[in-house]
Structure 1
Amino acid sequence: MSDVLPDGVERRQFDGTERLATRGEPVYGEPIDGEWRAWNPNRSKLGAMFDLEMDTGLEGGETVLYLGAASGTTVSHVADFAGPTYAVEFAPRPARDLLEAAETRPRLFPLLKDARKPETYAHVVESDVDVIVQDVATRGQARVALENAQFLADDGRLLLAVKARSEDVTRDPAAVFEDVQAALEDGYEILETQRLEAYHTDHLGIVARPR
């Protein structure tokens, strides 16, 4: 498996340990080396997907719709190497931290919206985005991906981190993952899946493209 990283993401040494890194102002106390900031895959599902060498299709400079931006830990890294990055977060408290992360990132656009209701931000987000990154802790994660597919370019990518315990805490995660993948097939072709257990318990990384 090849190490496919977008432009603007590198593997660099921090205190003798090789880490993913992007250029930008620090956000959450991460180690820095000059203008580079370490990207912790234990705090980022997308970072875990990169560290596990999943082929995300990201090359750098893409327009991104990020669903479930929380306080900006991961989406700040995305905005370091991507183009316009729309960051959707529903909870007001983490959204305040997200706004702070955006202050030094002119390409990062925080939206205090619910990813389950894309009609509430359809007037803001441009059509034909290159990538949807989804990391939401809710039931119906496949439905969120399907309803937001309206923003995705025909040759775009969905990078989805499925949280099994958010779907159903009582079921076996493998069964949950199967159900989510089956539901996604209503609108997506799944290109790659990989368990993120090395970094995130009961999570599955999915790369897909619209049908």
Structure 2
Amino acid sequence: MPTPTLAEVPMSDGSLPVGVERREFDGTERLATRGEPVYGEPTDGEWRAWNPHRSKLGAMLALEMETGLSGGESVLYLGAASGTTVSHVADFAGPTYAVEFAPRPTRDLLEAGAPRPRLFPLLADARKPETYGHVVESNVDAIVQDVATRGQARVALENRRFLDDDGRLLLAVKARSEDVTREPAGVFDDVCATLEDGYELLEQRRLEPYHEDHLGIVARPR
């Protein structure tokens, strides 16, 4: 079945962080933040559209998951890649630490961060938080994780040390990165069971129609 277009997936007036709005671009209501464009997204003055088909967190917001984000919070973003999503986060959040392992996308991430004084790109491995623990502040308000690797739950558990006791983990689990041979539902069950070693799971939702075989999870530390 073809993926629905943005116009075919209406978004209602659910709660959004301050600094994120639903605005009209070319006749279609879309999420948007204020900031310099990064990936060729449509703009309207200082506002730029946030494409949930290219952003797991954008999909979570479009699907009205209760992320706990209110705007202005400190964020540790794991798996920042070239900055598509984390640039939107830095548009509305406070200090935003963006961890990316691969040098090539990190160069693009640096460009995305240049006009964003609250965005701090870090060339580091999210599986080894001790390598950036001296840079990231303790007790961040949110961890946003989009790391396409085996052991995604373990990455979240290893980085739990940075999260405030009342903070939120916003995790996008990619089933095919865990095990391409298994059914996604079984993979998601295993990831959730592992996460419960350190987190209380508050909400889980498949991210279709925006991302196939992905699960969005909202959790808080135990």
Identity fraction in percent: 84
Q: Distance in 1 between matches of 2:86 and 2:42?
A: 17
Equivalent of 1:71, from 82, 96, 101? 82
1:40 equivalent in structure 2: 51
Gaps of 5+ in 2: 1-11
Q: Deviations over 1:99-145 (max 9, x none)?
A: 00000000000000000000000000000000000000000000000
Q: Does residue 1:177 correspond to 2:188, yes or no?
A: yes
SS of 1:114's equivalent? coil
Q: Distance in 1 between matches of 2:44 and 2:193?
A: 43
1:4, CA displacement in angstroms? 1.5
Q: Over aligned residues, Cα RMSD in angstroms?
A: 0.8
- The alignment of Structure 1 onto Structure 2 pairs a total of residues equal to 211
Q: Does residue 1:167 correspond to 2:178, yes or no?
A: yes
Q: Distance in 1 between matches of 2:26 and 2:149?
A: 37
1:61 equivalent in structure 2: 72
Question: 1:131-142 alignment to 2 at 5 Å?
Answer: 131-142=142-153
SS of 1:21's equivalent? strand
1:120 equivalent in structure 2: 131
1:210, CA displacement in angstroms? 0.2
1:10 equivalent in structure 2: 21
Question: 1:73-152 alignment to 2 at 5 Å?
Answer: 73-152=84-163
Output the TM-score relative to the length of structure 2.
Answer: 0.94
Q: Distance in 2 between matches of 1:2 and 1:52?
A: 11
1:3, CA displacement in angstroms? 0.6
2:217 equivalent in structure 1: 206
Q: Distance in 2 between matches of 1:14 and 1:210?
A: 38
Asked if the contact 1:67/1:115 (under 8 Å) is kept, the reply is yes
Gaps of 5+ in 1: none
1:51 equivalent in structure 2: 62
Output the TM-score relative to the length of structure 1.
Answer: 0.99
1:2, CA displacement in angstroms? 6.6
Equivalent of 1:156, from 145, 167, 176? 167
SS of 1:116's equivalent? coil
SS of 1:76's equivalent? helix
1:25, CA displacement in angstroms? 0.3
SS of 1:159's equivalent? strand
Q: Distance in 2 between matches of 1:151 and 1:42?
A: 29
Question: 1:16-35 alignment to 2 at 5 Å?
Answer: 16-35=27-46
1:82, CA displacement in angstroms? 0.1
Q: Distance in 1 between matches of 2:197 and 2:13?
A: 30
Runs of 4 or more, structure 1, over 6 Å off, are none
Q: Distance in 2 between matches of 1:2 and 1:172?
A: 34
